[in-house]
Amino acid sequence: MTVDKAYELISNAFAGGRNAHGYLIVGPPRGSGAQLVERLLQWMYCRQSPRGCGKCADCRRVNEHAVPDLHWIEPQMKSRQISINDMRELENEVYQTAYSGGWKAAVIVAADRLTMQASNAFLKTLEEPPGQCVFFLVTDNPDALLPTVRSRCQTVMLDQSTGADLSDEIQSVVIDAMREFRPGNVVSAMLAADRLTAFLAEKKQEIEKLITKESKDAGEELDDKTLDARISSIYRETRHMLMKGLELWFRDVMIMCKGFDASAGIYYREAGDILGGSCPAGGWAAAMANLQIITDINRQLDRNMPDAFVFQNGLVQMK
Ligand SMILES: [Zn+2]
């Protein structure tokens, strides 16, 4: 559903005292998911009429994360995990009386990053929720949550984003790799595959360094297996974003092939010139087949086939 619709439904439930204690909002944690949560929190803390004006000092405090009764939990910068310590801290806070005498609320951003221990600790809080307290869990990967956590929350599915949450880095890697790519030209396919593979290799090294350093700094004694699992989970996420970026690229090429102008829902608008020249000789049908190849590449990577091989093999097949 849209953010507006979800906002209407949930704020009405609050107004009628029929609200849930936990909401699982499925949507991009930095996109529409965050937007919905902020509007709901403004509704909860706003004292104007109509509530949730978005302009008053209370509403502004929500946006600035400066409401004392409102707690935000986000994955740690580097390990991208939400630890049991984070959840214990949260627990202590929500069981205290609200400063304002009103609602206490907590937002768990990217709730799929709860570690197993953190999930179990949180589950206990969800089972015996403090009065006048509500939890908002935001994630675009609900399957990664414990089923018991999921079932204690009311799920709100937001409409799929169109990829507006791709980082600038990913976008520019995609544009660079695709700049000289000509479907059907083997040399250009190899070159594009090399660029994509090199980016991933570089990322992997960065992630390895970060995670190793972070666990050392935290004084954690991690065995190689746990360390590898952490590294590969973050690596897979980066690769997933790259694939999403490529998928959007080839979708754009398809739209351009149809002869629509660049304003018609094109994601890589700033690369319109390159996109315009990328339509394969086989036209729209070929562009559609190429988009399917991107899906295949993604599936093969998920099966742990070697990156370089999968990209070369896939891009060479494009016509
Ligand atoms: Zn307000």
Measuring CA to CA, how many Å separate 7 from each of 14, 31, 41, 275?
11, 15, 10, 37
For residues 148 and 98, state if they share a domain.
yes
Considering 132, 157, 182, which residue would you say is the last residue of a domain?
157
Burial tier of 227 (Cβ tally within 10 Å: 0-12, 13-18, 19+): middle
For residues 56 and 188, state if they share a domain.
no
Residue 47 C-alpha to ligand 1 middle, in angstroms?
A: 6
Q: What is the pLDDT of residue 123?
A: 93
* 160 DSSP assignment: P
Residue 74 C-alpha to ligand 1 middle, in angstroms?
A: 25
- Alpha-carbon torsion (298, 304, 305, 306), positive or negative: positive
Residue 38 C-alpha to ligand 1 middle, in angstroms?
A: 11
pLDDT in tens, 106-152: 999 989 999 999 999 999 999 988 888 999 999 988 888 999 999 99
Side-chain-facing half-sphere of 140: CA atoms under 13 Å: 17
Mean predicted lDDT score pLDDT of the chain: 88
CATH of the domain at 87: 3.40.50.300
Range of the domain at 134: 3-157
Q: Does residue 71 form part of some domain?
A: yes
Residue 129 C-alpha to ligand 1 middle, in angstroms?
A: 27
* pLDDT band at residue 231 using 50, 70 and 90 as cut-offs: confident
Residue 61 C-alpha to ligand 1 middle, in angstroms?
A: 9
Considering 126, 157, 188, which residue would you say is the last residue of a domain?
157
Q: Which two tokens stand for residue 284?
A: 């729209």
For residues 202 and 267, state if they share a domain.
yes
Q: Does residue 278 form part of some domain?
A: yes
Query: For the chain, what is the domain count?
Result: 2
For residues 46 and 181, state if they share a domain.
no
pLDDT in tens, 61-109: 998 888 989 999 988 766 778 999 999 999 888 888 777 778 899 999 9
**Share of residues in the chain with pLDDT > 70 (%):** 96
pLDDT in tens, 256-294: 888 766 555 778 888 888 888 888 988 889 999 999 999
Q: Does residue 163 form part of some domain?
A: no
Residue 29 C-alpha to ligand 1 middle, in angstroms?
A: 23
Task: Using the predicted structure, report yes or no on whether residue 221 has a pLDDT greater than 60.
Answer: yes
Residue 6 C-alpha to ligand 1 middle, in angstroms?
A: 19
Residue 57 C-alpha to ligand 1 middle, in angstroms?
A: 7
Judge whether 55 and 46 are in contact, CB under 8 Å.
Answer: no
* 113 DSSP assignment: G
Residue 90 C-alpha to ligand 1 middle, in angstroms?
A: 25
Q: Which two tokens stand for residue 213?
A: 């350093």
